[in-house]
Amino acid sequence: MYQATVLGGQPLLLTQQDHQWLINGLPAGADIIHLQGNQYHLIRNGQSISLEVVSADYHNKQYQIKVDGQILTVDLKDKTMLLLEQMGLGAKAKPKLNDLKAPMPGLIVEVQVQPGQVVHKGDVLLVLEAMKMENAIKADHEATVDQIKVQKGDKVEKGTVLITFLKEATA
């Protein structure tokens, strides 16, 4: 079960039943084909739709998807995240991490911060290329950058420490 919300829109509940996807409990009536890399083709209700995943922020579960030329920002919550929210343990209860680790293997394309810099939630820290797609890795809380463990051009594995933060922000 997932809840997808297009920025500024109403949440859609996505579930799978008997090998079929349902949107808000109704059959999605769609076929999707993976073309290559981050490109897909969707046929829904006889309409042909081109999809491209432009960027993916796996840590914050936010994706930018180009749909027939228009870029949409989609927040995606899984069953566990929804349950935690129901229990009042949503994102606000998430512990602040002192180490930023690579969410997937890839190539460091750009580092946008420096040691001693105060970053705020949502600030882009670095860009990681994975599967021919650039992923902006963003801060999930306010913090001060302590050390940058990678540089542009480095290949990293999933779980590699990329940036360390001081325990308290100085701002």
- Tens digits of residue pLDDT in 14-47: 888 877 778 888 888 888 888 998 898 888 888 8
Same domain, 78 and 6: yes
Count of structural domains within the chain: 2
Same domain, 58 and 7: yes
Same domain, 125 and 63: no
Range of the domain at 21: 2-83
Q: Is it the case that residue 146 has pLDDT exceeding 90?
A: yes
Same domain, 70 and 111: no
Same domain, 56 and 110: no
pLDDT level of residue 171 (50, 70, 90 thresholds): very low
End residue of a domain, out of 52, 83, 114: 83
pTM recorded for the entire structure: 0.51
Percent of the chain's residues with pLDDT above 70:
92
Same domain, 157 and 104: yes
Q: Is it the case that residue 168 has pLDDT exceeding 70?
A: no
End residue of a domain, out of 83, 106, 128: 83
CATH of the domain at 149: 2.40.50.100
Helix (H), strand (E), coil (C) string for the chain: CEEEEECCCCCEEEEEECCEEEECCEECCEEEEEEECCEEEEEECCEEEEEEEEEEECCCCEEEEEECCEEEEEEEEEHHHHHHHHCCCCHHHCCCCCEEECCCCEEEEEECCCCCCEECCCCEEEEEEECCEEEEEECCCCEEEEEECCCCCCEECCCCEEEEECCCCCC
Q: Is it the case that residue 157 has pLDDT exceeding 90?
A: yes
- Let me know if residue 44 belongs to a domain: yes
- Let me know if residue 88 belongs to a domain: no
Same domain, 30 and 72: yes
Same domain, 78 and 36: yes
Q: Is it the case that residue 91 has pLDDT exceeding 70?
A: no
- Let me know if residue 38 belongs to a domain: yes
- Let me know if residue 116 belongs to a domain: yes
pLDDT value for 170: 42
End residue of a domain, out of 34, 59, 83: 83
Mean pLDDT of the chain: 85
